[in-house]
Structure 1
Amino acid sequence: MKILFVIALILSLPTCAYAQTGAGNQAATAIAAASPFVQRAYAELKAAAEGIGDRRLAGATRDGLEPETCIAHRVGLTDKDKQGIVTALIAQGFLKGGGDLTDGVFPLVVGDESPCPHLPQPIFAAPGGNEGSHHDWPGGLVQHEAFNLLNALDLAEAYHDQSGLTPDRDTLTAAVIWHDWAKSLVFQWQDIGVEMPEISIAGTGAHHILGLAETMRRGLPASLVQVQACAHAAPEDGDRIEVDNWLRAAAIIARVDPSKYLPAKGVWPEECHIHTLSDQNWMVAEPAAVMANEALAAAAGAFGFDPADVKTYTWHFRLIALSTLGADRIAEAWRREGDRGVLALLEPLRARGLF
């Protein structure tokens, strides 16, 4: 019962920084910290950041992966500042909907309004997708990023070998790591084990815009920010205006001049299209996540869990299984052998005392 002991220990520490943003973030941190599968992906990302040739970019990207990193676009922001930014986003048509949208643009963090606000959870504890979507478990974010990074670098090599292009691997590496970085802000864990909802900014998930605001505020190269912006769409035809708007919205949040980040004469770096292609893992991972969640719900009774007891089932069974094995393996076992295959895959986890 090692992982349960770790969770109980963390939840018992009211002085822990993450207690300020909820017990859910603490429990997710414990699960992800105990998963070799997650920690391997996290180590791969840190090694990739360290390997970036541009030492300033390497240092900033490596720092962004650390739990104690300062959130640059949140440093010193007051409630008045936040409201002014939200008002500007609404005025430009980048925010829509009624009610107070401030918490969606500025999720709860540790040390808000301080000289060094911290992430509400380590990046290795965050999920890679929203509730019910791809990689929606503790550590899913770093696993998603590690996979996308392999995609990006393999595509760069293929373009070099087959077309003679020389994509900048440093830019691609940093763009992949920074693109989903803000999911650690927007996909926080509620105590019951589900994620907080994400709002839309400029027609896309808030994490995309907040990640761009972070690299802008850190003063990272405009070429990197441009490639990072291309994750959700290539700047072609009608999507060009959309990508421009993502940069403009991020610049409002970062309090910088957007013209610095809009490509001169509309010419985007060639790495943009590679980044767009490399971010498509969700197309395979999302169906796998749906199938894995169905398989786990069907298998839960054999391990003494009831999916109707959402909090217990989620924290003590579902998220542990997903963080330890990943949705792809569970879905594959179900496709090949049905319930029997899933039970065989999960039984070693029970033997190890994980649940």
Structure 2
Amino acid sequence: MNTDCSRRTFLLGGLATGAVLMAGSGLLKPGRAEAAPAEAVMLEECVSMTPEEMAKRSAYVMAAWRYLQDSAAELKDPALRATVEAILKNPAPLLAKNDEKAIMTELKAQGLLKADAKALFPECADAAQSPQPFYTAPGSGWNSHHSYPGGLVTHTALNVASCKALYDNYVKVYGLELDRDVVLASQMLHDLHKPWVFQWQKDGSCRTEQTLAATGEHHTLSVAESLRRGLSPELCVAQACAHDHPGSEASEKTVVGWLKAAAVINGKDAATIGLLEKDGKTLPMPRRIEGFVTHLADHDWVISVPAAQWTVSALRQVAARVYGLKESDLKARPFNQFRNYVLSQKTAMQLYGAYAAKGMDGLTAEVAQVVRA
């Protein structure tokens, strides 16, 4: 989630269960050889690397990427599994084939797009091909969580692990009968269009996200893409709930807006195709629990947003003091690439953990493991 596209700050303490599950769910385990960072590189090498080179060099990113593929294989429905696997392999913006001008006119008429908006879709050379692989995309905008090559897969992996734990807990504690395919797939796809929205720029930063239906455009576009690919209304509704939940009138209204926009983008009416109740004012009744589970599992950002911001601020000091970057470098590609490489190899969360526990000395030591002074 971008800090400039806020959503309800809501978290239950039980989400910690997901973090515990990570140690035994196929992700990196402490002490495993593959968790060791790659050989440290010189600053000049960081500056010249591509996002793909950084992501592939990261043990954490690649482990998270494998975990997501393994998780997709757990889906029981063959058609759903095939669609999710295809999206992970190539999150192509098929939506870009639609009539953008006509869609914008309707969205503006319904108050779902700003009146002065000049475009709806981010640039793409080919609607059949993602601008970048899923595993190279950042997890959010430049000043937000997991904003480094591979950040999307580390963010999504944590959320998926949390999602599995929450599903298990609700089933075991309350005896609920939930659709695990819906819970799992909606979480895996909740940010599917971040590779399209957050394209890497020449200066090492990523594209600035625009607003659509009162939230960051990646969210509404992701739901619209799931609808475009024929996924069920139940899954699309649960996916929309990632950013907010229908537990209050105000919150449900925002989810309704996202679903309406997703339907308009596909030339459909949200109520008619089962995304909303017939009156178009609420989610289908009675409201399903799967959407709440998806929402709760999408709370990695609660700590990862400030952790990333605090870590990057400290990295500027390290870059200047230890690596000799000048003031002009700190606002341009040299620092952007330095931060991208360090964050991708260690993850922003691991770096902040070291910083929180051991201060600047701890952070500097972590950086030295991946970039030679």
Tell me the TM-score range normalised by the shorter chain. Answer: 0.7 to 0.9
**What are the Cα deviations for residues 317-352 of structure 1, in whole angstroms up to 9, with x where unaligned?**
11000001011111121122222111211222135x
Runs (5+) with no aligned partner, structure 2: 1-40, 278-283
Offset of residue 171 of structure 1: 1.0
> Alignment partner of 1:134: what SS?
coil
1:89-238, aligned counterparts within 5 Å?
A: 89-100=107-118, 102=119, 105-112=120-127, 117-236=128-247, 237-238=249-250
Check whether the contact 2:234–2:275 (CA below 8 A) recurs between aligned residues: no
Offset of residue 245 of structure 1: 1.4
Alignment correspondent of 2:350 = 329
Alignment correspondent of 1:304 = 324
- From the superposition, tell whether residues 3 and 261 of structure 1 become closer, same or farther in structure 2 (CA, over 3 Å): farther
Report the TM-score, using the length of structure 2 for normalisation: 0.81
Check whether the contact 2:236–2:275 (CA below 8 A) recurs between aligned residues: no
The code of the aligned residue for 2:261 comes to A
With 143-152 and 303-312 compared, the bigger mean Cα shift is at 303-312
Equivalent position to 2:253, from 241, 259, 262 = 241
Check whether the contact 1:149–1:176 (CA below 8 A) recurs between aligned residues: yes
2:59 matched to 1:59? no
Check whether the contact 1:226–1:268 (CA below 8 A) recurs between aligned residues: no
The code of the aligned residue for 2:267 comes to R
2:94 matched to 1:83? no
Runs (5+) with no aligned partner, structure 1: 11-26
Q: Distance in 1 between matches of 2:202 and 2:335?
A: 13
The code of the aligned residue for 2:123 comes to L
Report the TM-score, using the length of structure 1 for normalisation: 0.85
Alignment correspondent of 1:253 = 265
Q: Distance in 1 between matches of 2:125 and 2:274?
A: 29
- From the superposition, tell whether residues 7 and 293 of structure 1 become closer, same or farther in structure 2 (CA, over 3 Å): closer
Q: Alignment length, in residue pairs?
A: 322
Offset of residue 207 of structure 1: 0.6
> Alignment partner of 1:98: what SS?
coil
Alignment correspondent of 1:16 = none
Higher helix share: 1
Q: Which has the higher contact order (CA 8 A, sep 6+)?
A: 2
Offset of residue 163 of structure 1: 1.0
Check whether the contact 2:46–2:341 (CA below 8 A) recurs between aligned residues: no
- From the superposition, tell whether residues 97 and 137 of structure 1 become closer, same or farther in structure 2 (CA, over 3 Å): farther
After TM superposition, which residue ranges in structure 1, 4 or more long, deviate above 6 angstroms? 2-7
